Amino acid sequence: MNKTTSIHFSKASRVISGGVNSPVRAWKSVGSSPLFVDRARGSKIYDVDGRAYIDYVLSWGPMILGHAHPKVIAAIRAAVKEGTSFGAPTRPETSMAEVIASAFPSIERLRMTSSGTEAAMTAIRLARGYTGRKLIAKFDGCYHGHSDSVLIKAGSGPTTLGIPGSPGVPEDIARLTLSLPYNDLDALEKTIRRYGSKLAAIIVEPVAGNMGVVSPQKEFLEKLRTLTAKNGIVLIFDEVITGFRFAFGGYQNLIGIKPDLTCLGKIIGGGLPVGAVGGSKKIMERLAPTGDVYQAGTLSGNPVAMIAGLTTLNLLQAKKQSFASLDKKTGQLCRAMEEMFFKKGIPVCINRVFSMFTVFFQEGPVVNLQTALQSDTKMFARFFHGMLKNGIWLAPSQYEAGFLSFAHTENDLQKTLEACTKTLRNL
């Protein structure tokens, strides 16, 4: 680890809890201090020593256009000049809602929040208010932000750090959340048979990205839709990562399933703090002020965030066709890496869904949290550091997704594969 980084990190650690404002940024699971970042542009991110890396984290998903897209930055600059927060309705909020509703057939009404956490928290409260039921179900390894109800066997940071639940979440609340294995039809059927009439909601990442990438078996999501509908349970798709990542809309569009509520975030904020919850008029109108379920936010629908998000979505809409190229590039990269590992005799299972991927250090298949946890995390850590040394910035945990952006070029992919060759030499 280089010296500058440790200086910055120890300075940060004296005033910031753990030196970071979100746990996975601390690089604990790969056994080092995190690099500090100065700036990023396109597919590249630059540390404080001016070294460039090809970035596959992309702020954990949002930067699908690449960092600092000139049009997004110009729009933000123009918006900032007019003031940064008003606490009153603005026109861009309506435009944002219109764009999202037009892209998601399941969304008739929308509410903006400042984070994905708030979106999921609101969706769950709304489902409880709407159904008058208390229990909710989620899936092991799925992450829905850090609110009390969903911090049970959550993926991402909690899995990386080996935290199954969290002290501070009262048992009385934890007891109301059932967590089931992902992709497990039997467990799902049994749970619904037993608790169907008591469940307010089932929340799911339609493509799991927070235990590493795990794709849903088609029957799993179909069964989930059928059974929830039959039992009056609100089905919540958490598309905070997947919204606008694979197509202009959600994963739900691609599989033709309409959830009752959808959570969004990340990409729709264009790199600014944003989340949203949307769904049918009937459910969404239960939110205050039309309804009695309370939800609010001083900075919700923030004008600068709306402009950043809207500009991003407009650029994505113009690129509709090129989502296929993003898919193709990611496929190319993953297949080439797979071959390198194979030749070297290191077992890996690369899970990929369009432009999201995870290299699991194990034979696989990885279909849920239990199988994901079989990975060799020590080997992952060595791979991570090898790639970093060779100019490739990967997520600092086995249990996270890698992302490609529209800014990643063939040349970037080539460099990444060269870095991988060098890294494998010493693995």
Ligand X SMILES: *Cc1c(COP(=O)(O)O)cnc(C)c1O
The site for ligand X (CB under 6 A) is made up of 115-117, 120, 143-145, 205, 209-210, 238, 240-241, 265, 275
The two three-digit tokens of residue 254, written as one number: 């691609």
Q: What is the C-alpha separation between 60 and 48, in angstroms, rounded?
A: 20
Half-sphere CA count of 274, side-chain side, radius 13 A:
32
Annotated active-site residue in 266, 329, 399, 412: 266
Residue nearest to ligand X as judged by C-beta position = 116
Q: 115 or 262, CB closer to ligand X?
A: 115
Nearest approach in angstroms of CB 410 to ligand X is 28
Catalytic annotation present for 46: no
Nearest approach in angstroms of CB 203 to ligand X is 9
Selection from 215, 142, 218, 209 nearest residue 180 by Cα: 142
List Cβ neighbours of 416 (8 Å cut-off, separation of 6 or more).
54, 56, 333, 392
Annotated active-site residue in 47, 55, 184, 238: 238
Q: 156 or 191, CB closer to ligand X?
A: 156
Alpha helices in 14-154 (DSSP H): 70-80, 91-103, 116-131
Q: 207 or 413, CB closer to ligand X?
A: 207
Catalytic annotation present for 3: no
Nearest approach in angstroms of CB 114 to ligand X is 8
Selection from 217, 196, 216 nearest residue 208 by Cα: 216
Nearest approach in angstroms of CB 347 to ligand X is 27
Q: 115 or 423, CB closer to ligand X?
A: 115
Check if the beta carbon of residue 52 is closer than 8 Å to that of residue 391. Answer: yes
Nearest approach in angstroms of CB 292 to ligand X is 25
Q: What is the C-alpha separation between 305 and 204, in angstroms, rounded?
A: 26
Q: 251 or 341, CB closer to ligand X?
A: 251
Catalytic annotation present for 143: yes
SS3 206: coil
Catalytic site positions: 143, 238, 266
